[in-house]
Structure 1
Amino acid sequence: MLDPLRTLAYGTDASCYRLVPKAVLLLDNESEVIRVLQLAAEFYLPVTFRAAGTSLSGQAITDSILIKLTNHWRDYELLNEGELIRLQPGLIGARVNQILAPLQRKIGPDPASINSCKIGGIAANNSSGMCCGTAQNSYSTLAAMRLILADGTVLDTANEQSKRDFCVSHKHLLHELAQLAIQTKNDAQLATLIKHKFRLKNTTGYSINALVDFTDPIDILMHLMIGSEGTLGFISNITYHTVPEQPFKASSLVVFENIETTCLAVAKLKQMNVAAVELMDGASLQAIADKPDMPAFIAQLNINNAALLIETRANDQLMLSQQISQLAEVLAAFKPIDSIAFTQERATCEQLWAIRKGLFPAVGAVRDTGTTVIIEDIAVAVEQLASATRQLQQLFAEYGYHEAIIFGHALDGNLHFVFTQDFNSPAQIERYQNFMQRVVQLIALDHQGSLKAEHGTGRNMAPFVELEWGKKAYELMWEIKGLLDPDNILSPGVVLSEDPFIHLKNLKTLPAADAIIDKCIECGFCEPNCPSKDLTLTPRQRIVLWRHIQQRRNLGESEKTLEPLLDAFQYQGIDTCAATGLCADSCPVGIDTGALIKQLRSQQLASHSKLAKWTAANFSQVINLAKQGLNLAQLTSRVLGRDGLQRLTEGLNHATGHRFIKWSQFAPLSAPDFTAIQSLAVNTQTDAAIEQPTVVYFPSCSSRVMGPDPDMAAQGELSLMETTIALLHKAGFRVILPEATTELCCGMAYQSKGRMNLARQKSHQLEHALLSASEHGKYPIYMDTSPCAMTANAGITSTLKIYDSVEFIEQFVLPRLSLTPLDEPVMLHITCSTRKRGLAATMQRIAAMCTHQLIVPPDMQCCGFAGDKGLLYPELNASALADLKSQVPNDCKIGVSNSRTCEIGLSEHSGISYKGLVYLVHQVSASLS
């Protein structure tokens, strides 16, 4: 990638720095990495490796060549029944723990960004986390590594032949490493310093503890790679010793009078059986006191108070109970002023940990527009924790960082502090410089601590590595860099830098662009959920680009000069955004980038407003036209054949600039005439004298247009409307359809295109009809398509409750049925709307009751169909579901979801027919009466 739009977008990470690469290379395999490194060495071109870009210290950006890995780097292998796991660098950390969960194992590192960050970054930064400490980080749990050096040589430490070959080809390098180890061990002062420094969490500089911990130069080499931030080589795969995941857990929140008492309690807890102890200062607690679901007493605390969030774990309930009793006794001795006692209740534990996880975004959400959120990461000895915290608080006051908060992994003396910084003026940059100089003095010299405990050195602390480590250790690090990267092509300026001011250069500003996105801190947590992430842009990248465009406009640049960028952003940023809002669920400050895109679409639609208004006023005619279109498509497919029609429509889609619908072989037949559906809504088999439960059923637009696909129909399947009514009758319900159903719509079809006024109009029309049909809420209202149910619920102004199929089936239908689960495998796709409404677990639970072999493909979030996007921009759907087919077992014939449009794309990219969850429940159920 060479174009300015994508180099800017892909060059962004979570740090406070901005560099724009000259080129972004997406590499598929080792051979490509080797060739790029060889060419880089030949032409002296610096390269930087980038994983998820959640790093905070500026180590994942460059103004030269940025190397990103494609999805071909996600293989893994379980070894020794899960005691070891071999991983490629493209796997997300949380996904690895999903793989290990059935074996009650996990990887040791547990960074807060584990749902977004990748194994390559975890290893390269020696990331740790809340429970990891120093005993379970990548350095300590490393078993083997496959690495590529700057000269393109591959070494696989798990392969004896590879090691033998390397010993021949790189005899000099191994000799020099062995000599460095001998010299370091023989230098008692240096060896003692290294051991002393690494008693704490420490990611400042290189992992030179490898020189005192190991004698074999190959062991030394692979441990030096941990925490090297891509400046010594590329980690092609890594084998970890996994750690046990204890199944019994309990959490408690304990508040103390002051930070001194809190830290004394930490010192005692360090001797106890605890998995995590998270410290939060008074400012932290005040920052989240007004958040939803916070314990009431938090609002009554003062700035001098502090709290500990504690978790203890065990292999059985008896052991856990004993540990809880012991901990409660110890804590009581420190006279807590308030607490939530140890609990195993899941909802309460999640609430407690939400307090801790909400601290970083709490500052981000209240920052002034245009300022950057800085999160620093230091470590001191536990006995110095109170003093360091107090002194940091004094520095905040002295330099005017009144919003700053302190929290951290107390057992390790690891503190994070968060503050907001304006980089838009020399005076503000000078304030930041002076503040950081004082922090460096306080932590590195006064407390002999780590300037970077777990976030990596990056550009941020590169100028201070010598100050923390001293001249001898610093020169040793440069010698290692020279041995492994003699041409200095691997991320120059990262970890080690000869520029004393590199931490003050290329500082990122976050200019105002739109109120919807101005609070974005560019952390990248949103990216794994985005269906367009491998096709065009992610939510973070869309925000970065829109900020850039708006900044250039604000500086007076003409629309004419911006035209190439705007044209590129139209497709990359606007047209291929699914706009489902799933990104908001993983965003620390709740930003829905899709809302921005809908707003931009709305601003582009004035020329088509008459047609849109006509469709809203004549909705039943639109439905009929759509059904006729399906009939015509099926007729044409019989003439041209499925493949012929697909090729024809693909060509027309491309030729018309995505204005012509691309046909799918899984395109549905048209739904039956609605008068036939109305006749089914009367249950003639029920005795009128018996009081019968009643439900109002509103079929969505898609189910009124689309019947089963041809393969489903050939197997005797009926339309979703017919199947839904049959299931409701089986459960004993009287079914009412609203009057004028054919004219009704929830408004989503208009909302997704930015036509908010028409969306509200249709929503109000639907609400009026549902109020009438339900006798103002007397009867529950059932909607058969999840996205429509979510949209309808959001649009109504009354107290009506609209259930989608998942909710209604669980609460009202299943209690009236008996189920006989299938013995065959069933694929399940959970839609975005189901996830956003917190019903994913419910949907999975229902599906699991219907089959003994339920398959929920990992990493499948939004399918990218997004209403009609899958028809007009089929490449979005294809990209989002690229891995689906490989996860369908050969003997699997059934897929289920709860959105008729999504099911078209799921069918096409899986090779099996997907249908509504209703079909599966109907298939395996029988009435209890």
Structure 2
Amino acid sequence: MTIVHEPAAWAELKAALADTIPEERLIDDPLRTLAYGTDASFYRLIPQLVVRAESEAELQVTLAECRARKLPVTFRAAGTSLSGQAVTDSVLIQLGRGWRGHEILDEGQAIRLQPGVIGARANALLAPHGRKIGPDPASIASCMIGGIAANNASGMCCGTAQNSYRTLRDIRVILADGTLLDTADPAGVAAFRHSHGGLLEELERLSIETRGNEALAEKIRHKYRLKNTTGYALNSLVDFEDGIEILKHLMIGSEGTLGFIGAITYDTVVDEPCKAAALAFFPDMAATCRATIALKRSPVSAVELMDRAALRSVQDQPGVPEVLRHLPEAAAALLIDVRGNDEEALEARMAEVQAMLEGIRTLEPVAFTRDSATYALYWKIRKGLFPAVGAVRETGTTVIIEDVAFPIERLDEGVLALTDAFHRHGYSETILFGHALEGNLHFVFPQGFEKPGEVERYQALMDEVAQLVGVEYGGSLKAEHGTGRNMAPYVELEWGSEAYALMWEVKTLFDPENLLNPEVILSRNPTLHLENLKPLPAADPVVDKCIECGFCEAICPSKDLTLTPRQRIVIRRELARLEALGEAASHDEKARIDRLWQAYAYQGIDTCAATGLCATQCPVDINTGDLVRELRHERNRGKAGMARLVGRHFSGTTRLGRGALNMAGAARLALGKNLLSKVTGGMRRLSGDRLPQWDPSLPKAAPVRVLKQDVADESRREKVVYLPSCATRVFGAAHDDVESRSVMEITLALLDKAGFDVILPEMIGHLCCGMPFQSKGQFDEASHKGRELNRELLVASQNGRYPVLCDTSPCALQMKEYLDDRLSLMEPVSFAHEHLLPRLLITPLDERIAVHVTCSSTRMGLSDRFVALARVCASEVVVPAEIHCCGFAGDKGFNTPELNASALDGLADQVAGCSAGYSNSRTCEIGLSHHGGIPYRSILSLLDRASEPA
């Protein structure tokens, strides 16, 4: 659907909304409308206006103003949807921070969630109660509750019994006319019955007529014995008689076309703690499907099917079992998950599964694992299949994923028929995987639309698949990913004209003007699924394999400030597409390139923390920070001489840093914090933000004289090479902290307590890991400093004879990427576990403390060990939720302080009542102290306070 309105309409809308919503949350610039308008599907529509609504009141005003101008509206949660249901060329309403509320009910038996809560966060909240939400989509670590409910997403362990429709207790919705209904509020329900009695009567009439139509009612029941998200939830008309209940359940899976879900209350399900999994390999698909049918009667939590092509797409990933590389071409696998409340129940269920598989040939003995790392790896393989296929596609093509469901008893027939259809249409690279117990299969294939005939080939395939699944096999064309745009033209084919007309009646009752997400679920445009296809041009080898799934977004520190990794890639691709036009580009296109680059400088480059945390969530390990550093390299080529000058005189540079801190300390003493903050803030504004921001948490200068103290050389004592980072050589203790020692003083004292002799590298003041240069794109000087450091550490450690401790985690990660393999380099957490805890007596402090696991520690796989170390040393440990990266990023906290502030929004509330916080990066600790309202120190300080010599 193409929206045609005069440009004045959008200006009028924005002006009208500005009376209620701050203008910075009314977004219409070309860069952000494209970036924010992109979702995980293969469709591209650019909204005219993006509204970041923070409350129900703002959303109601937006709906009213759009309705007055007949402007369509689309709601967006995380944008991980795959079928085009979250894109628009009209008004996009994006959830802001204000939609992340939650409430545990009935001691975990239920949970009330706002739509901006990430699914995994909901489960984390329920974990202490041994419960979880029923829906279990593969994207649960990224997708939000609003999208889970609006798409009736299910997933691996959910089936049809535990999806949103089946576990819904109550819902809070805003309808197209702006009316708010909370079904958990009896008074509100009574008022709604009075004000919207006509709507409820019509829903009840439709229910009576549908139940009275035996053929239609039976068809509906059959469709929902399967996984099914094609069209509206017509099962609500046969499952319920009361208009409120029908309305509640129609909202599930309605994809924002009937109203906005402002909150949902789920009845939770038991999360059995004992878990085991097996990868079972079968010689062919027929045997795999027979095993699936047999397992349907067994006590399994999930059975995931993967064909040979799917397994091939992940067989070279780290840790994957070697057997995957040697399977025959016809082979397939089942990932079988078994759970129990205790070990005895788990053992019994595993034995029952083994008994069910007797008589079915397997290529390897079926062996269950309870090892948590292997268990997690199996599920990582399964959840990463879709992006992994996208990563190996030809650059410039997109990746299509659809999910169908067959009646389980016809699964093997359906698989063979689908495979035959793909091959006949030339889709030899298609992979199949899915939730086998429900007959639910995902098929994924690369698709280019640029070459002649490709659109027609795709259409022919989809026409045949729709006929095959929806008509011949009586299955579902959309099992769990939502109808969206891609399957909207086929809804009538699957359901038949009678049910299709009923769906249009439902849509008209709720949205008579067709303004809520039009063209999604229902459309009379037979070629809708072939229009507005997203280009994915080559932009940079670092990111070309990205399929824009959005898994990275939840942990990005700039997600609420500027752009996410996905959005940075989207804009870089658009720039590449326009630049590829060369001389053929029009004047307007050239002007668009200039405007995008100008805006991208701040939105995409300056506000990226470039810590690489995004790679930990990316199924194909894309580090968008690498792209940003390359862009900084291009931009800062003219500053290479200055970088070289700083690097060659690094000890002088750090002395200047300490001198600046001494001056700041004197100014703080003379003017006071408040006045100094105003003065420096004014100077920063006058400089056009070129001067760094003075931070009240700015510490004292570090006393480097402690590095010159002689340490007793007792030959009986073990030795360690200690490398204080340049950050700890510059930044000392905070002015107001009771811990008055610098990180260097703490580390030296702790090492002595543990019985280590300390070796300090020569010319220590001159050494640097190179990260300050690397992060700014000054790769040559970064490499020079790295080689320099490598040489000195080899000398100090006697070619790796002694371990090396670096007191700053990000520096340790930087060094691990290039230091000599002979060096045993550790940061504070790993060194404490391996070398300090065995040598110390620990008496846990009776304190409530906070822990911030740095990005580098996460990337090195140290998160659990970090928290475990803190719990050894303190009686209560708080790990703030959804604070993944502090955004200080070296000097970003000084030069781009808004990134640090945005990343740590809400930290103070979570750490309230803590005596202190602990981390392992001195610069991160500065920002954490400022925004957390408590002092943050090195984790070594905590260990030192809680320990005595063994």
Is the pair's TM-score, using the shorter chain for normalization, greater than 0.5? yes
* 744, 749, 760: which one aligns with 1:726: 749
For 1:302-317, list aligned pairs within 5 A: 302-317=328-343
Structure 1 match to 2:729: 704
CA separation in 2, counterparts of 1:589 and 1:288? Answer: 10
**Offset at 1:319?**
1.3
> Structure 1, residues 162-200: CA drift from partner, whole Å, max 9, x if none?
011001100110110010000000000110110011110
**Offset at 1:332?**
2.6
| 2:705 pairs with 1:679 | no
Contact 1:683 1:729 in 2 (8 A): no
* 768, 780, 803: which one aligns with 1:757: 780
CA separation in 1, counterparts of 2:786 and 2:684? Answer: 31
Structure 2 match to 1:882: 905
CA separation in 2, counterparts of 1:443 and 1:259? Answer: 18
CA separation in 2, counterparts of 1:367 and 1:304? Answer: 22
SS of match in other structure, 2:99: coil
CA separation in 1, counterparts of 2:926 and 2:686? Answer: 23
**Offset at 1:520?**
0.8
For 1:611-626, list aligned pairs within 5 A: 611-626=642-657
> Structure 1, residues 867-886: CA drift from partner, whole Å, max 9, x if none?
00000000000000011011
Structure 1 match to 2:931: 909
Contact 2:391 2:547 in 1 (8 A): no
Structure 2 match to 1:870: 893
Contact 2:283 2:328 in 1 (8 A): no
For 1:434-473, list aligned pairs within 5 A: 434-473=460-499
Worse overlay, 341-350 or 614-623? 341-350
Structure 1 match to 2:940: 918
| 2:35 pairs with 1:9 | yes
Structure 1 match to 2:519: 493
Worse overlay, 850-859 or 788-797? 788-797
SS of match in other structure, 2:444: strand
Structure 1 match to 2:811: 788
| 2:336 pairs with 1:336 | no
Contact 2:280 2:364 in 1 (8 A): yes
Task: State the TM-score, normalizing by the size of structure 1.
Answer: 0.98
Contact 1:363 1:403 in 2 (8 A): no
Contact 1:598 1:754 in 2 (8 A): yes
> Structure 1, residues 708-729: CA drift from partner, whole Å, max 9, x if none?
01012xx252111011000000
* 64, 78, 84: which one aligns with 2:110: 84
Contact 1:784 1:898 in 2 (8 A): yes
Structure 2 match to 1:630: 661
SS of match in other structure, 2:434: strand
**Offset at 1:640?**
2.0
| 2:621 pairs with 1:578 | no
CA separation in 1, counterparts of 2:591 and 2:67? Answer: 40
For 1:171-190, list aligned pairs within 5 A: 171-190=197-216
| 2:764 pairs with 1:735 | no
In structure 2, what residue type is equivalent to 1:828? V
CA separation in 1, counterparts of 2:728 and 2:315? Answer: 45
Cα separation, partners in 2 of 1:561 and 1:484, compared to 1, 3 Å: closer
CA separation in 2, counterparts of 1:429 and 1:716? Answer: 66
CA separation in 2, counterparts of 1:17 and 1:516? Answer: 23
* 87, 93, 103: which one aligns with 2:119: 93
After superposition, the CA RMSD in angstroms is 1.1
* 534, 545, 549: which one aligns with 1:519: 545
SS of match in other structure, 2:316: coil
Structure 2 match to 1:474: 500
> Structure 1, residues 537-557: CA drift from partner, whole Å, max 9, x if none?
101111101111111111124
SS of match in other structure, 1:710: coil
In structure 2, what residue type is equivalent to 1:919? S
SS of match in other structure, 2:377: helix
SS of match in other structure, 2:709: helix
Contact 2:614 2:623 in 1 (8 A): yes
In structure 1, what residue type is equivalent to 2:447? Q
| 2:459 pairs with 1:433 | yes
* 172, 184, 189: which one aligns with 1:163: 189
Q: Percent identity?
A: 53
**Offset at 1:354?**
2.7
Contact 1:744 1:765 in 2 (8 A): yes
Contact 1:85 1:240 in 2 (8 A): yes
In structure 1, what residue type is equivalent to 2:702? A
Cα separation, partners in 2 of 1:716 and 1:880, compared to 1, 3 Å: closer
CA separation in 2, counterparts of 1:354 and 1:122? Answer: 20
* 253, 269, 285: which one aligns with 1:259: 285
Structure 2 match to 1:812: 835
CA separation in 1, counterparts of 2:834 and 2:821? Answer: 22
Question: How many residue pairs end up in the alignment?
Answer: 919
Contact 2:802 2:824 in 1 (8 A): no
CA separation in 1, counterparts of 2:365 and 2:936? Answer: 49
Worse overlay, 792-801 or 49-58? 792-801
**Offset at 1:637?**
1.5
Structure 1 match to 2:792: 769
In structure 1, what residue type is equivalent to 2:254? S
Contact 1:116 1:525 in 2 (8 A): yes
CA separation in 2, counterparts of 1:762 and 1:654? Answer: 34
> Structure 1, residues 376-413: CA drift from partner, whole Å, max 9, x if none?
10000111111111112112221222221000000000
**Offset at 1:822?**
1.4
Contact 1:253 1:339 in 2 (8 A): no
SS of match in other structure, 1:332: coil
CA separation in 2, counterparts of 1:205 and 1:813? Answer: 60
SS of match in other structure, 1:343: coil
**Offset at 1:889?**
2.4
Cα separation, partners in 2 of 1:537 and 1:446, compared to 1, 3 Å: same
Worse overlay, 739-748 or 796-805? 796-805
Structure 1 match to 2:881: 858
CA separation in 2, counterparts of 1:29 and 1:601? Answer: 37
Which residues of structure 2 form unaligned runs of 5+?
A: 1-26
Structure 1 match to 2:621: 590
* 912, 921, 924: which one aligns with 1:899: 921
CA separation in 1, counterparts of 2:319 and 2:595? Answer: 47
CA separation in 1, counterparts of 2:210 and 2:66? Answer: 32
Task: State the TM-score, normalizing by the size of structure 2.
Answer: 0.96
Which residues of structure 1 form unaligned runs of 5+?
A: none
CA separation in 2, counterparts of 1:536 and 1:655? Answer: 23
* 60, 63, 75: which one aligns with 1:49: 75
CA separation in 2, counterparts of 1:320 and 1:161? Answer: 46
CA separation in 1, counterparts of 2:896 and 2:789? Answer: 29
Worse overlay, 894-903 or 386-395? 386-395
CA separation in 1, counterparts of 2:207 and 2:383? Answer: 41
Runs of 4+ in 1 over 6 A off after TM superposition: none
SS of match in other structure, 1:696: strand
CA separation in 2, counterparts of 1:657 and 1:372? Answer: 42
| 2:305 pairs with 1:279 | yes
CA separation in 1, counterparts of 2:701 and 2:932? Answer: 22
CA separation in 2, counterparts of 1:716 and 1:476? Answer: 70
In structure 1, what residue type is equivalent to 2:897? P
**Offset at 1:561?**
5.0
Cα separation, partners in 2 of 1:918 and 1:354, compared to 1, 3 Å: same
CA separation in 1, counterparts of 2:320 and 2:560? Answer: 38
**Offset at 1:779?**
0.2
In structure 1, what residue type is equivalent to 2:869? I
**Offset at 1:340?**
4.6
Contact 1:445 1:468 in 2 (8 A): yes
CA separation in 2, counterparts of 1:445 and 1:57? Answer: 21
Contact 1:286 1:301 in 2 (8 A): no
CA separation in 2, counterparts of 1:798 and 1:482? Answer: 68
Contact 1:205 1:477 in 2 (8 A): yes
In structure 1, what residue type is equivalent to 2:464? R
Contact 1:57 1:455 in 2 (8 A): yes
